[in-house]
Structure 1
Amino acid sequence: MKSIYNATDLPLKEEYDYIIVGGGITGCPLAATLLANYSVLVLERGSAPPSYPQLLLTIDRVQEDDGKMVQEDDGKTHYHRFTLEDGVAIVRGRVLGGSSMINGGFYSRADYQFYNEFGIHWDMDVVEEAYHLQHLMGTKTSSSIFDNEGKRHEAVELLNKGELKNLKVAFASYVERIIFFSKASGVSTSGIVYSDSKERTHEALIRDEGEVMLSAGAIGSPRLLFLNGVGPLPHLSSHKVSVVSENLDVGKFMADNPRNSINIVVPFAFDPSVGYVVGITKLSVATIVEKFSGPLSSSSLRLVSFIDVKVSPTVRFNYFEDPEDLARCVRGMRHSLPRNLFDDASMETFCSSTVTTIWHYHGGCVVEKVVDGDLRVVGTNSLRVVDGSIFNTSSGTNPQATLMMIGRYTGLRMLQERGVAK
């Protein structure tokens, strides 16, 4: 794609109509939609997409050093691995296309209850336009971003649907600062300062009526707000960060859907029910994965460094902190095991000791707390957050399709606001 550049090859100063921070599952469809009428710069901290994206299966395995969990991340892979304070290893996509380049390819619409609880007054006609999948009543089976020949179709392909003459994508770019200024209507955003791999500083500015959109995910977007003075006063002041807009809820109401697995050896051959690429062996092993949506346990994100933008924040999801979450895990496991095999106390220990992530974490910039119903950051102008950090609950089975929809949906609504779309 001719529109993709190493950040080192872009001008040190340039203007655009829109700037999107994060070229992932939500940022790509958002950009593709806006490209119909406007110039767009997409800033991606990761690399350009590979020719043959591979499925990552072992992202929840980490080594131990003297009994402590350690990070296995050299800064060069397509996935950014780090360990939660809970001791669970998680990953973030670090490549153009985001986690759609490394995930299992599951594609499933959000439950209708999700829209009712979200906090946005949805235009369901626009929602339907942004989806291309319908579920029949009954058991929800997965669709997939893999085609019948096993080829992955990731979010980055959506950029080809837009007017590429209006697009510039800068990979290996790190956002150093959101440029804020004050005016009569409040604090506004005029652009982004970012650095490239040669540590040169670039300034990307937005034109009149333009906007900056954060699509860096549930970890990245609240982190960027913190770094730029949007957040709770005590946390910012303790790190001597100038407060641009105080908001006590930035980085809060985060949650991850806990995952627990049981492996069962079965005496017969069977077909997998989830769309993974699998090897063929003589041993038939079934893995039953329990994941429940809408965990009651929640957590928050805190920054370690307000100086180095590449340092990961600290996150603790507090899996099973709420007793009801633990009880739900026990009930779910009992459906998969013989009756009366273990008592509740043993099952609770099993749930707590085997918990890991299913990579569907969300929150941190929740609607009606950090952003309004149009996803604008409260207390600022020309700054929105468009990604999974705005979720106040899980979208259901898998968030990938919903995240793509929200990118497309927000882009269409923005075009409507400017009078260039119906």
Structure 2
Amino acid sequence: MSGSVALTVDKLRLAAATYPRLLVLGSSALATLLFVLRLRATSKRKKSKGPYVENLAALANKQYDVVIVGGGTSGCVLAGRLSEDPSIRVLLLEAGGSGTVLPYSRIPSGYGRLLRSEHAFNFETEPQVNAQGQQRYFPRGKMLGGCSSINAQMAQYGAPGDFDEWATLMGDESWGWRSLQKSFQKFERVLPHAEYPEMDGSERGTEGPVRVGYFNYVSEHSKAFLRACEQVGIPLIPDFNTSKGPIGASRVCVFLGFLAVTVTYVDSKGVRVSAESAYLTPEVLARPNLTVAIHATVTKILFDETGPTPRAVGVEFAKSATGPRYSVKARKEVVLSAGAIHSPHILMLSGVGPEKQLKAHGIPVVLDVPAVGANLVDHPVVDMYFKDKKNDSMLPMRNPKSLSDIAILTRSLVQYQIWGTGKLATNIGESAAFVRSDDPKLFPPAEYPRTLADSTSGATSPDLELFCTPLAYKDHGNFTWDFHTYALHCYLVRPESRGAVLLKSADPFALPSVDPNYLANPDDLEKLFRGFRLILKIAHTKALEAYIDHKNTDPTLDHATHTKSDEEIRQIVKERVETVYHPTSTCRMAPVEQGGVVDARLRVYGVEGLRVCDASVFPWIVSGHTAGACLAIGEKFAEELKREIKARK
């Protein structure tokens, strides 16, 4: 099969699996072809064992140099990079399956359908006492690639000041922006384009495995959002990810015949780039020194406690709560890369954590570390909903109701399968802007007289992100309106509120308690209030007049919300606040006396042979999206660990 034909067939398979409703609504030849290809693809996947180990018994009692627990964003980086050295035997254990075989993950617009499925850990938070006592859905990826397989693919990395702040805290310049930027560049493959000359290619990587570019579909609404940002006083900037910082709105460029707005983890074929697809390629998986096991839940870390300091020597794992448990040995290191919720959970299950908690659940204490699971911080988001005046939303992609909708969906399927473009190639979060809540141009002191604590990492670092989506939704897409909608969103990128991950049970298959403690700090509420007021102002700009129908009187929409009092707006914020999927800092990198769990080399204090490398080690949450920082710390740590292992030999 030729490359072009193979690509077309692959796109048809993806589209067919993600949008099967068309098969019911239409009997066209295209629908029939999609159905046949879907069946063939499903049959082929069932027959093929693939490159991953599923027979966990085959791993029992084996030895590896490095055992990586969790195949998420950082875990895939570590497995790919460490195994570059043929002398290092690496085992990667992942609780879920492969993300790249899931069409919902590969098609940029399909990831929301993975929420509340077997491919996510479907947490509900503890009641949020400062947000009307509500429990909130809180998903985490359960597959290779982790949350990079279910995120909105927005490639923004935080602010340079965030990482300089890390370096100052640890007294280690390798964590500063100037040094860590090399790790960002190492994972990137960004190719500047002649029609986007303002991007400074000298600050971006061009040879890494993660394809970053302008290949997502962007609606006219999202382009208008940028013009609206400019009209309220937010400057347009060419690139969020340079030394100048991200404050501003991303600028529109012409690329391959269509307009793009934000840099995304979507490749030139219109397919998501996850940590799995980038780092666990067929060539990497063919390495004899790398083993990747799926559907392998790590139940605890194994320790040798005969010496003066406990040493991690392996892990225990199982496929299910009732299935047999197996163990493997780690000659050099055990590395936790299970994410900001599961890394502290596994530590506590293994006897490393707050002594009181461990004893309450009958877990033998290996080491009392009170900070494990503490300092949970997440980006809280609030959403705003409007009627789309153009009737050009993503509604036909989700719920086609008429012949016109079916025609739009059919056209979108064809566009996607041939060119990798069209509505199916949207990453949903199409345009964004970053601002400071103390910017006097946006928040005049006469209107906002209260002085709020500066939680940012520096003068060029933001504390609010604004973005738009081509469809309004509630409850993470579990509810959408049955007419065309448009949405604006605001989230706090530097919250002060802190929560915790706590044990509910000693059963490793029981999910832990998650409490992000939204709005515990009163300044968090005030900053989100300001951001909400700002997006209301953006919604009523001239640039968005043609796209938002403010004559609509549906009470579930926000066309009249700008008329509400400040106190009513604050109550709306409390009612709507929820996760934007960025929890961090539960195994914080910091001095012990400042609540640290790991040191600057990501070693767990008081334990030998045990590291943590994922978002849980962030000293403070980054000012934006967390995936890029997870990729970068994976690159940094893999390089350092390879040197360490070589030096020990």
Q: TM-score, normalised by structure 1?
A: 0.87
Question: How far 1:148 moved relative to its partner?
Answer: 3.3
Residues 69-108 of structure 1 show CA distances to partners (whole Å, capped at 9, x for unaligned) of xxx66xxx11121210131101111112212222221222
User: Residue in 1 aligned with 2:588?
Assistant: 366
Question: How many Å separate the matches in 2 of 1:231 and 1:49?
Answer: 31
Matched, 1:194 2:194: no
Query: Aligned-pair RMSD on alpha carbons?
Result: 2.8
Q: Any conservation in 2 of the 1:10–1:170 contact (CA below 8 Å)?
A: no
Residues 127 and 50 of structure 1, relative CA distance in 2, 3 Å threshold: closer
Is 1:83 the counterpart of 2:193? The answer is no
Q: 1:397 to 1:263 in 2, by over 3 A?
A: same
1:230 alignment partner in structure 2: 352
Q: Distance in 2 between matches of 1:237 and 1:356?
A: 32
Confirm whether residue 4 of structure 1 aligns to residue 52 of structure 2. yes
User: Partner residue of 1:357?
Assistant: 579
**2:265 corresponds to which residue?**
145
Deviation at 1:32, TM superposition (A): 0.8
In the superposition, relative to structure 1, how do residues 416 and 245 fare at CA in structure 2: closer, same or farther (>3 Å)?
same
Residue 83 (structure 2) aligned to one of 32, 35, 46? 35
Contact 1:30–1:411 (CA<8 Å) still a contact in 2?
Answer: yes
Q: 2:338, 2:249 → 1: CA distance?
A: 33
Residues 259-298 of structure 1 mapped to structure 2, 5 A cutoff: 259-268=381-390, 274-275=429-430, 285-298=485-498
Q: Which protein is bigger by CA-based radius of gyration?
A: 2
Secondary structure of the equivalent of 1:4? Answer: coil
- Residues 233, 11 of structure 1: alpha-carbon distance in 2 compared, 3 angstrom cutoff: closer
Give 1:418 deviation, angstroms.
3.1
Question: Residue 56 of structure 1: CA displacement?
Answer: 2.6
Secondary structure in 1 matching 2:536 = coil
Residues 174-185 of structure 1: matches in 2 within 5 Å? 174-184=297-307
Query: Is the 2:378–2:583 Cα contact (8 Å) retained in structure 1?
Result: yes
Distance 1:220 1:188 in 2: 20
CA distance in 1, matches of 2:583, 2:296: 24
SS of corresponding position for 1:237: helix
For residues 361 and 282 of structure 1, the distance between their equivalents in structure 2, rounded to whole angstroms, comes to 32
Gaps of 5+ in 1: 61-71
- The structure carrying a bigger helix percent of its residues is 2
- 1:56 and 1:131 map into 2 onto residues whose CA distance is 22
Query: Is contact 2:68-2:75 (8 Å) kept?
Result: yes
Say whether 1:302 aligns with 2:502. yes
Task: Give 1:385's aligned residue.
Answer: 612
Distance 2:352 2:57 in 1: 31
Question: What displacement does 1:28 show?
Answer: 0.2
User: Does 2:640 match 1:413?
Assistant: yes
**Range with bigger deviation, 338-347 or 166-175:** 338-347
Residues 232 and 250 in structure 1, CA contact (< 8 A), matched pair in contact too: yes
Asked whether the equivalents of residues 53 and 101 of structure 1 are also in contact (C-alpha less than 8 Å), the reply is no
Deviation at 1:112, TM superposition (A): 0.6
The answer on whether the counterparts of 2:83 and 2:90 sit within 8 Å (CA) in structure 1 is yes
Q: Secondary structure at the match of 1:6?
A: coil
Worse overlay, 362-371 or 230-239: 230-239
* Contact 1:115–1:122 (Cα < 8 Å) also in 2: no
Select which of 241, 244, 248 maps to 2:363: 241
1:37-56 paired onto structure 2 within 5 Å: 37=85, 38-54=88-104, 55-56=110-111
Query: Matched residues in 2 for 1:252 and 1:269: separation?
Result: 46
Q: What's the offset of the Cα at 1:268?
A: 4.9
| Correspondence for 2:276 | 156
Encode CA deviations 1:157-176: one digit per residue, 9 max, x unaligned. 20226472211111111212
Say if 1:211 and 1:382, in contact at 8 Å, map to a contact too.
yes
Q: Cα 1:9–1:3, aligned 2, differ >3 Å: closer, same or farther?
A: farther
Deviations 1:29-82 (A, max 9, x none): 01111101211111111123352431332678xxxxxxxxxxx66xxx111212
Q: 1:217 to 1:348 in 2, by over 3 A?
A: same
> 1:314 — aligned with what?
513
Query: How many Å separate the matches in 2 of 1:253 and 1:26?
Result: 20
The answer to whether the 8 Å contact 1:375/1:386 transfers is yes
Equivalent residue number for residue 338 of structure 2: 216
Contact 1:253 1:363 in 2 (8 A): yes
Does structure 2 conserve the Cα–Cα contact (< 8 Å) formed by 1:222 and 1:364? yes
Shift of 1:253: 0.4
Structure 1 position 7, deviation (Å): 3.8
Q: Confirm or deny: 8 A CA contact 2:470 2:485 kept in the other structure.
A: no
Secondary structure in 1 matching 2:524: helix
Q: Secondary structure at the match of 2:93?
A: strand
Q: Is 1:130 aligned with 2:186?
A: yes
8 Å CA contact 2:340, 2:615 repeated in 1: yes
Partners of 1:288 and 1:393 in 2: CA distance: 26
1:336 corresponding residue in structure 2: 535
| Number of residue-to-residue matches in the alignment | 403
Contact 1:41-1:168 at 8 Å conserved across structures = yes
TM-score between both structures, scaled by the size of structure 2: 0.58
Q: Is the 8 A contact 1:320 1:326 kept in 2?
A: yes
SS of 1:203's equivalent in the other structure is: strand
Going from structure 1 to structure 2, the CA distance change for 1:258 and 1:291 (only over 3 Å counts) comes to same
Contact map agreement 1:23 1:97 (CA 8 A) in 2: yes
Judged with a 3 Å threshold, the aligned counterparts in structure 2 of structure 1 residues 149 and 48 are, in CA distance, closer, same or farther, namely closer
